Structure 1
Amino acid sequence: MLTQHAEGPWTDDPVRPHPPAKRPRRVRAPKLGTTVVEQLVDDIIRGTLRPGSALPPEAELCEEFGVSRTVIRESVKVIQEKGLVRIEHGRGTLVTDPRQWNLLDDVVLTSVIAHDENVTFLDELVTVRTALEAEMAAAAALAHTPDDDQHIAEALGVMRTNLASAPDFGAADVRFHDAIMAASRNRLGRAVVNSIHDKARTSMRYHGEYNEAVMHQTLDEHQAISDAISAGDPAAAAAAMRKHIVDSWNRRRPAQ
């Protein structure tokens, strides 16, 4: 006969109920380590910790961040993997030359963009984006399917109907470019552009402000890209994409 005990669930043992299953050990969220990593990355990139200089001793970092030595050591290991420091026996943990930094790492890229005072890094980012997206527009002109054409046209249509809403217009703008990259079948190029573009768009100096004239100009440029892809003309598609990205950046690039 099954018996219910106050201490546990139903059991066929009237004397000793089965003990509850052992719960898995919970892993503490790495919030403290994430904060340490982001702060140290920021200190390195903005020049508070300069190339060739050593990180403060573990004890000082523990005191500064209010964390254990274990958290500091794990955080430094993460920063080392990002290419920002190297460990030298007898000299400590040294900040590396900026040429060794992993600029595609999310934390590094976000910080570099945030501290790009003269926008030279954003200029480089636009150059890379232009080359990749022009190539993918050409590929899309050769590989596009009816479904691809529909996705591109839908994004363009949403832009056209949202000239009075800058946020909706901007979101559709991003979808338009992504639809073309998807049509190119270049998965790596699409991933790289989306990564760098998403981080760049967090900077006001990169995305600027939409106004009616800018939105109409953007629509015309997008229509030219779409028309070239629909016509199956890779050279025209690449040229239209290149012109759009470069001209758009020149319109919104902050004056120095």
Structure 2
Amino acid sequence: MTIPVARPLSRNPAARARGENHGEDATVDEIGAGIVPRETVLRPCPSQAGPGHARVARALGTGIVAGEFPEGAVLPAEPVLLARFGVSRTLLREAVKTLSGKGLLEARTRVGTRVRERAAWNLFDRDVLAWTLDASIDRRFLRDLAEIRLAIEPAAAALAAERRTDADIAALESCVAAMRAAPGLDPAFASADLAFHLVLADASGNLFMHSVGAVTEAALDVVFRMSRPTDPQAHETSWRAHAAIAAAIRAGDPAAAARATEVVVRDGLRNGAAAVEAGAPRPTLVPACPVRRGSSR
């Protein structure tokens, strides 16, 4: 059986939950798009990336975020890399150019190509985010993710309380119902949780919040699947906390919606950190090949 991973900017999360798939073809880069087996999230499809600079960029990028090429280190000489990847000098240089554009590499005259410090990496780039998820998730990653969520999601909930449509409210409540119906350890719980937060960003009516939700989608999917509730009490606490957000949005109360959302994000940080400490297995990243997607607002 397969479940849909929520797609960025979709206006029909209920259809996603039913496994329906409508709209134009998505690109390979759209990490969040697609229908994949349970316990999986997405990364670019190797068969679609094909041979050449995309393959080399992916291999080098994964090596950088995994620490094979440490921050500040100079990449091996060009002949070494050419022999390793079996590509032309033109394709290798194109791959390096791609990674430089993502903030991972910096070419210096007479020095070589150096791996830049992590702070320079563009973690809002979907490839970089996917490689980071594939390499490791630690407390710092969870903290940084929670901080960007705290900066965005309560504000999105407040805007949603002012701008929501009947369809938005119905979608949020449908996600809550799905969370309530699914035992915490059922992957369907994490899918409904993710769909709820993407609906929330969508209901804000703010295009920038749409975009942030699309970028962080893969990270949230992994974290939600790692940290879903393991006992009935935690399960009830979680779905009720999301129900409080939906109720505040339905009531048109921006302040209450923001407060309820902050509670959920902070709880998620604690649960995720506990899962990391306990050594919870992470879902496996799998290729994201072209699929159909819904339309944006």
Shorter-chain TM band: 0.7 to 0.9
**Is residue 173–residue 243 contact of structure 2 (8 Å, CA) maintained in 1?**
no
Name the SS for the 1:201 alignment partner: helix
Q: Alpha-carbon deviation of 1:191?
A: 1.9
Contact 1:131 1:242 in 2 (8 A): no
Assess, with a 3 A threshold, how the Cα gap between structure 1 residues 158 and 46 changes in structure 2: closer, same or farther.
closer
Identity rate of aligned residues, in percent?
A: 31
Show the 5 A alignment for 1:219-238: 219-238=239-258
Contact 1:55 / 1:95 at 8 angstroms: preserved in 2? yes
Q: Which residue of 1 aligns with 2:277?
A: 255
What CA distance in whole angstroms lies between the structure 2 residues aligned with 1:177 and 1:43? 31
* Cα separation, 2, equivalents of 1:33 and 1:202: 28
User: Is 1:41–1:108's contact at 8 Å kept on the other side of the alignment?
Assistant: yes
Any gaps of 5 or more consecutive residues in structure 1? 1-27
> Does the aligned pair in 1 maintain the 2:105–2:116 contact within 8 Å?
yes
On the 8 A contact 1:159/1:173 being kept in 2, the answer is yes
Which of 79, 87, 101 is residue 67 of structure 1 equivalent to?
87
1:29 offset after TM fit, Å?
6.0
Distance 1:143 1:29, change over 3 A: closer
SS at match of 1:240: helix
SS in 1 for 2:60: helix
Residue 158 and residue 85 in structure 1: after superposition, are their counterparts in 2 closer, same or farther (change >3 A)?
same
Change (3 A) 1:82 1:164: closer
Q: CA deviation at 1:84?
A: 1.2
> How far apart are the structure 1 equivalents of 2:138 and 2:182?
33
Answering whether residue 60 of structure 2 is matched by residue 40 of structure 1, we say: yes
What SS does the corresponding residue of 1:93 show, helix, strand or coil?
strand
Using the size of structure 1 for normalisation, the TM-score is 0.80
Alignment correspondent of 1:109: 129
Hey, what's the Cα distance between the residues in 2 that align with 1:138 and 1:202? 26
1:83 aligns with 2:108: no
Distance 1:156 1:202 in 2: 19
Number of the residue aligned with 2:39: none
Counterpart of 2:262 in structure 1 is: 242
Cα distance in 2 for residues equivalent to 1:164 and 1:117: 21
Per the alignment, residue 124 of structure 1 pairs with 144
Contact in 1 for aligned 2:160/2:203 (Cα 8 Å):
yes
Q: 1:171 aligns with which of 191, 195, 198?
A: 191
Shift of 1:242: 0.3
Aligned-partner Cα distance in 1 for 2:179–2:66 = 37
RMSD: 2.3
Cα displacement string for residues 154-173 of structure 1 (whole angstroms, at most 9, x for unaligned residues): 22222223337712222222
Q: Answer 1 or 2: higher relative contact order, Cα 8 Å, separation at least 6.
A: 2
* Aligned residue in 2 for 1:201: 221
- State the 4+ residue runs in structure 1 displaced beyond 6 angstroms: none
Summarize deviations over 1:170-211 as a string: whole Å, max 9, x none.
22222222222211101211221232132343368x732443
Is residue 2:204 matched to residue 1:162? Answer: no
Give the letter for the 1:208 counterpart. Answer: S
Q: Any conservation in 1 of the 2:49–2:55 contact (CA below 8 Å)?
A: no
Q: How far apart, in 1, do the equivalents of 2:95 and 2:80 lie? A: 14
In the alignment, the residues of structure 2 paired with residue 117 and residue 138 of structure 1 have an alpha-carbon distance, to the nearest angstrom, of 30
The answer for the alignment partner of 1:21 in structure 2 is none
Deviations 1:69-96 (A, max 9, x none): 2221111111111111112222221222
Contact 2:201-2:213 at 8 Å conserved across structures:
no
Counterpart position of 2:8: none
Q: 2:23 matched to which residue of 1?
A: none
Residue in 1 aligned with 2:154? 134
- Give 5+ residue unaligned stretches, structure 2: 1-47, 279-297
CA contact (8 A) 1:86 1:96 kept: yes
Per the TM alignment, residue 99 of structure 1 is displaced from its structure 2 partner at its CA by 2.0
